[in-house]
Structure 1
Amino acid sequence: MKNNFPYIVVFLVVLFASCKKQEAEKPKVTYDATSKSKPEIPVDTTQTEVADLPITMEGTNILIHPIGNLIGKGKAIKSSNYAEEGFTVSNYGEYQITGYLKNLKFQEIGKDTIYALTDKNVLIETATYLKTFADKSKQQLLLYSLADIDTNNDGKLDSNDIKSLYISTISGQKFTKLSTDLQELIDWKVIDSKGILYFRTIEDTDKNGEFDKQDKVHYYFMNLMDKDWKVNSYNPV
């Protein structure tokens, strides 16, 4: 009997590679000719939210409660590894909270009141405390990388949507968007000695749904000491 096993393996490898390629080529933004604005995505009420134990940044008096969706079946915990059971929704290190978070909630140490960062549907990937800037200026701020618009029109907010840059105080107040709609955040940097935030975004100027070298990179800066948090553009190239 002829052994077809090698051919089956080759077929499965090719099929897997094809699926991965299609997944990688999924556009981050699609354009609806009938609408200039993206509708707000409703919160998925079928998901169960869970909060991690609170985090406090060094030198602050605020507790931060990361909020995310329960992963898996939510069965009773059978071991000390909570992550396997899906009860952990965030990670913390180097003054940065990471994950796929639906919200953050804040609480002043010593008080009972807990309040949310936002009432909008967002997906927060990073929340970074500007510790060095705080030590120099005595101003305590958080920067966020998050998705706030269903830019690829698939009916949900996830890692395939455009990332935006937001800022707030350490207590979650003055939650403000800094980047422009439909521009993907590339990176950001704070010059602590000057109190200046710099960041870059990329715009899909050729409207092909992808970000590549044919598109335009935008450069911005903002004085963190400015109470209005006014964003300015500049042209280094």
Structure 2
Amino acid sequence: MKNILILGFTILLFASCGKENKPKIVHAENNGKEIPELKKDTAFIEISDLPIQIDSTDYLIHPIGDFRIEDNRGKIIYKSSGYGSNNFKISSYGGYRISGDLNNVKFQHVDSEKLSSLTENVIKIHSLSFLRKVFDNTKKQLLIYEVTDRDTNQDGKLDFSDINTLYISKINGTDFRKLTDNNKELIDWKIIESKNRLYFRTIEDINKDGEFDKKDIVHYKFVDLNSDNLKVTEYKPI
């Protein structure tokens, strides 16, 4: 029994040592290098889900993501047939929200065959949400995106270990713009219907230790969705 306990403790020790606590951000002043812009990874094949049309809108939304299949040895292989259709799904849709790990989104008017890309930049889109209540109140058709747009921890890839940011666009993907400031982590966001405002919070790593914690500063901001310029305004509830 003693040997079993020692073996179990040893396994847990090695497992914990193997988990690397990556910082969310590596600051330029800490390592002398600016955050690099990543190039598109051509090792994977891009694939699109079938289009989604949000009711009351005139646009089809095509989610674009990476397609990869691994064999039982963990080796990545590619096939065009012989696999179940579930293996090819890259996003999910429900409650006016598309979620996944997307590289891009393409938009198509229902009366056209032309597809337009949201962006030419290398980003990861974790979700996009149609602001239905804002549309009901103002007839404006807007999309909100949660995006990773920079390799802030400088590990050579974009993923959930990097800073999450907030973007907005029109229903056709035009006027795609960033609402949060660089190097500030998005905490959460919500719509206040009575004011047609988008409220959100971010946190700033003021001590530049690469972590977001109670030692840092929380910023509070809102966007007046009644306005066409969608200006971001900071407010101080505390």
Q: Offset of 1:38 from its aligned partner? A: 2.5
Whole-Å separation in 2 of the counterparts to 1:149 and 1:78: 36
Letter in 1 for 2:231: K
TM-score with structure 2 length normalisation?
Answer: 0.90
Summarize the Cα distance change of 1:216–1:125 in structure 2 as closer, same or farther, 3 Å threshold. Answer: same
Question: Which secondary structure does the structure 2 equivalent of 1:38 belong to?
Answer: coil
Partner of 1:49: 46
The 5 Å alignment of 1:91-170 reads 91-170=92-171
Counterpart amino acid of residue 30 in structure 1: V
Shift of 1:194: 1.4
Check whether the contact 2:151–2:162 (CA below 8 A) recurs between aligned residues.
yes
- What is the match of residue 32 of structure 1? 28
Does 1:70 find its partner at 2:67?
A: yes
Structure 1 residue 41, shift from structure 2 partner:
1.0
36-45 or 156-165, which moves further after superposition?
A: 36-45
8 Å contact from structure 2 (residues 167, 178) kept in 1: yes
Shift of 1:29: 0.2
What is the CA distance between 1:5 and its match in structure 2?
5.5
Provide the residue aligned with 1:209 in structure 2.
Answer: 210
Correspondence 1:18 to 2:14: no
| Percent identity over paired residues | 43
Please give the alpha-carbon distance, in whole angstroms, between the structure 2 residues aligned to 1:47 and 1:137: 41
Q: How far apart, in 1, do the equivalents of 2:17 and 2:129 lie? A: 37
For 1:177, give the aligned amino acid: K
TM-score (norm 1): 0.91
Give the direction of change, closer, same or farther, for the CA distance of 1:15–1:77 in structure 2 (3 Å limit): farther
The question of whether the paired residues in 1 share the 8 Å contact of 2:44 and 2:68 is answered with no
Shift of 1:154: 1.1
Question: Once the 2 structures are TM-superposed, how far is the Cα of residue 142 of structure 1 from its aligned partner?
Answer: 0.3
Distance verdict in 2 for CA 1:13–1:36, change over 3 Å? closer
Q: How far did residue 18 of structure 1 move?
A: 3.0
| Displacement of 1:139 | 0.5
Q: Partners of 2:82 and 2:95 in 1: how far apart?
A: 30
RMSD of the alignment, in Å?
1.9
Structure 1 gap ranges (5+): none
Deviations 1:33-65 (A, max 9, x none): 365742311111111100000111111111000
SS of equivalent residue, structure 1 residue 58: coil
Q: Distance between the aligned counterparts of 2:9 and 2:32, measured in 1?
A: 45
Deviation, 1:12, is 2.0
